[in-house]
Amino acid sequence: DAKTTQPTSMDCAEGRAANLPCNHSTISGNEYVYWYRQIHSQGPQYIIHGLKNNETNEMASLIITEDRKSSTLILPHATLRDTAVYYCIGNQAGTALIFGKGTTLSVSS
Amino acid sequence: GAVVSQHPSWVICKSGTSVKIECRSLDFQATTMFWYRQFPKQSLMLMATSNEGSKATYEQGVEKDKFLINHASLTLSTLTVTSAHPEDSSFYICSARVASVADTQYFGPGTRLTVL
């Protein structure tokens, strides 16, 4: 599994875009980038994943650099309910996800 | 997205007793499920991989005789904590893999175990 590096914490104002970076310089060609978030005392929630191309769904956008060494998760209009720990994981499809410490995102009004 | 449930959501038991936690995939079949535990202010730690119809694969340091895993059907995996002790108190979370190109995993809501 690719080692990922994320900032420990980030702050964001409600209504603004939250851009969460992730470095995964050792990611291999068949490893996906997955993003999950965990709100206190709940199970992780799947957000989005990508391999090479940028991806967008109803929750977020994922921008992956051309060399695949880093990516950015974008929450376009952050709300208070987006306050959570966000995990970026580089993983081969089908294998167990290994969680790092993630980024604690605090959204304030 | 796919839905995974866990039961119970919380349990309190006496030291020495056994506790069973169920993990169900509600709207898909899961040949593989995973079990994690999370201590306060820490990240999720993988305990074992559960494959339908076969023995679970445990991570290093996880006692297979203490944490019994059964995956008897494509929608149900169970984790039994045998002879529970206070140090087993934790948040136990399962995930199930949806068979697809990326094999996305979906997580249950977790089970809070407190051993007195």
Which tens digits make up the pLDDT trace of A58-74?
Answer: 999 999 999 999 999 99
Per-residue pLDDT averaged across A37-48, rounded?
95
Q: Given its phi and psi angles, is residue B72 left (phi above 0), alpha (psi -120 to 50 degrees) or beta?
A: alpha
Residue among A41, A43, A49 whose CB faces B102 most closely: A49
Residues 6+ apart with CB under 8 A from A60: A35, A47, A48, A73, A74, A75, A76
**Nearest alpha carbon to residue A50 among A72, A78, A21:** A72
Q: What angle do CA B58, B76, B59 make, to 5 degrees?
A: 10
- Asked if the C-beta of B32 comes within 8 angstroms of chain A's C-beta atoms, the answer is yes
Per-residue pLDDT averaged across A51-62, rounded?
96
Which tens digits make up the pLDDT trace of B29-45?
Answer: 998 999 999 999 999 99
Contact B43 A100 (CB under 8 A): yes
> Mutating which of B3, B34, B43 best tests the A interface, going by the most A Cβ atoms within 10 A?
B43
Q: Is the pLDDT of residue A1 over 80?
A: no
Helix (H, G, I), strand (E, B) or coil at B4: strand
**Smallest CA–CA separation between B109 and chain A, in Å?**
4
- Asked if the C-beta of B70 comes within 8 angstroms of chain A's C-beta atoms, the answer is no
**Nearest alpha carbon to residue A22 among A84, A60, A72, A97:** A72
Per-residue pLDDT averaged across B1-26, rounded?
96
Residues 6+ apart with CB under 8 A from A57: A48
Structure tokens belonging to residue A72:
């950015």
Alpha helices in chain A (DSSP H): none
Which tens digits make up the pLDDT trace of A28-38?
Answer: 989 999 999 99
**Smallest CA–CA separation between A40 and chain B, in Å?**
10
Q: For position A58, what pLDDT does the model report?
A: 95
> Mutating which of A42, A51, A91 best tests the B interface, going by the most B Cβ atoms within 10 A?
A42
Which residue of chain A is at minimal alpha-carbon distance from B90?
A: A41
**Nearest alpha carbon to residue B25 among B2, B47, B48, B7:** B2
